[in-house]
Amino acid sequence: MNDERSRGTSGVLDSWLSATMDVSFAILGWTILLAPVLSIGNRLLGSPLTDSTLGIVLVVLAVGATYPVMIGTVSLGNLGEFLFLAVGSALVWGSVLLLALATVGGSFAGGEPLPAALLLTVAYLSAYVLLCRFDVRVFQ
């Protein structure tokens, strides 16, 4: 009887730990995806939000965006795939942009948020197209 009780407790604990890890990974994934968007967007608007306010908005959005992952509308796997593809796309497009600028001898001021916003937009769009249109899977 003790074995049955311990197996039941173990199953509940495993389920609870699994759900906690899923929520944690979803919040982390959304935070990584949303932090640059909020930061660059704030800079584009002339920095109307302080860093602490931006942090609070980021946490609220990341926790709120976790809900569709938990109810199954968005899979945690797709979130991870999108995150990986978005970071990879940003690196690729950033390298292409740097090579293009070096080729033509151009430059831009490092403090300007517009080039970063354009790069982030192209990277996220590329990741979306790769994942949703061409069904590119990295982790299968």
The predicted model gives 2-30 an average pLDDT of 81
DSSP state of 107: -
- How high does pLDDT run on average in the chain? 91
66: tokens are: 């976790």
Question: Does the structure show a pLDDT above 60 at 2?
Answer: no
Statement: the pTM of the whole predicted model exceeds 0.75 = yes
Q: Quick check: 123 and 50 in contact, CB under 8 A?
A: no
